[in-house]
Amino acid sequence: MMENVIIVGSGPAGLTAALYTAREGLNPLVISGMAFGGQLQLTTVVENFPAFPDGIPGPDLVMRIRNQAQKFGARFIDEDLTGIEADGDPFKVMVNEKEYESRSIIIATGASAKWLGLDSEQRLIGRGVSSCATCDGPLYRNKKVAVVGGGDTAMEDSLFLSKFAREVIIIHRRDKFRASKILQSRVMSTSNIKIRWNSIVDEVIGSEFVKGIRIKDTVNGTLDEIQIDGLFVAIGHAPNTSFLKGKLKLDEKGYIITRDEVFTDIPGIFVAGDVADKRYRQAITAAASGAKAALEVRAFLM
Ligand code: NAP
């Protein structure tokens, strides 16, 4: 069977593309992946998605969009994509041993936050460990939090968190930030942001929820424990594009190079969401680009 459109990915971008293409009667097939829902699965309450004044848990938000898309006929395969043929006519998408042919594809595989890689960090994700200050920051009103990283994201996250938290401690592995000067100077002039230079997080402390962190000095190796209520890891994101190497144009960090936000260099292959967006990375902007990609698929198939 020849599909009209296969959507790869199931965060807000892929699901909104599914909703739009389903309502167009295109009967989309979504390869949603084993980790259905993307980064929203890792967030607690989303308070900045319009229409939810009381906030909505990230996993509930993606499930609602999925149900909405399903209602209009979107079909889902909850497995990971194992390969893609982007040069053929038709395009081919492989999922384990099965091959699916399609007239068009929307790639919405998102990006993944980079983590420190500590077992204790992984165990406490969603229980005080977060990679999304915009999503989870307001939950830390009058609390003490730490942010790991020295780039623009770490600075922006710290500034955002400083509006809610009693104290924000930036943990950075060197004695210099790589962030833009303007963000650095804002951080330096914010009274409730403190900086621990030459430091890495060695262990996240807490059984059910984060209670503190153990910090190691990168110069002299000394260990130190500090009590915190939340740990924000802001050491960068990596787009989920390894399966596209040599097939689509990617930039040096692996993001898909697009034209007018949703077009790739191959007619019929479109892009939505964080897989091509290193700037905004919000659920609402991803959903919006999913809608745009879907509208371009409609135009392409006409
Ligand atoms: P980034 O610039 O790659 O910075 C990552 C930071 O995390 C670096 O300071 C790095 O330390 C640190 N780091 C990396 N791996 C680490 C590890 N395993 N343990 C401890 N620290 C680690 O990433 P980003 O801040 O997310 O920014 C990504 C891009 O988006 C940049 O181009 C940035 O300019 C852009 N951005 C722009 C804005 C804005 O313009 N408003 C906002 C956000 C992001 P080192 O410095 O020692 O390498």
DSSP assignment of 230-255, as one string?
Answer: EEEE-S-EEES-GGGTTTS-B-TTSP
| Ligand 1 atom 7 nearest Cα | 235
Q: What residues are in contact with ligand 1 under a 6 Å CB criterion? A: 116, 148-154, 156, 173-174, 178, 200, 235-236, 278
Pairing of strands 56-57, 45-46: antiparallel
| Distance separating alpha carbons of residues 174 and 278, to the nearest angstrom | 24
- Per residue in 23-47, pLDDT (tens digit) is 999 999 999 998 889 888 877 778 8
Ligand 1 centroid–CA 179 distance in Å is 7
- List all residues 6 or more positions away from 139 whose beta carbon is below 8 Å from its beta carbon: 44, 45, 230
- Per residue in 150-200, pLDDT (tens digit) is 998 899 999 999 999 999 999 999 999 999 999 999 999 999 999 999 999
Q: Is-above-0.95 flag for pTM?
A: no
Enter the DSSP assignment of 263.
Answer: B
- The tens place of each residue's pLDDT in the chain, 302 residues long, gives 999 999 999 999 999 999 999 999 999 999 999 888 988 887 777 888 999 999 999 999 999 999 999 999 999 999 999 999 999 789 999 999 999 999 999 999 999 889 999 999 999 999 999 998 988 999 999 999 999 999 988 999 999 999 999 999 999 999 999 999 999 999 999 999 999 999 999 999 999 999 999 999 999 999 999 999 999 999 988 999 999 999 999 999 999 999 999 999 999 999 999 999 988 989 999 999 999 999 999 999 99
182: closest CA among 209, 216, 159? 159
Catalytic residues: 132, 135-136
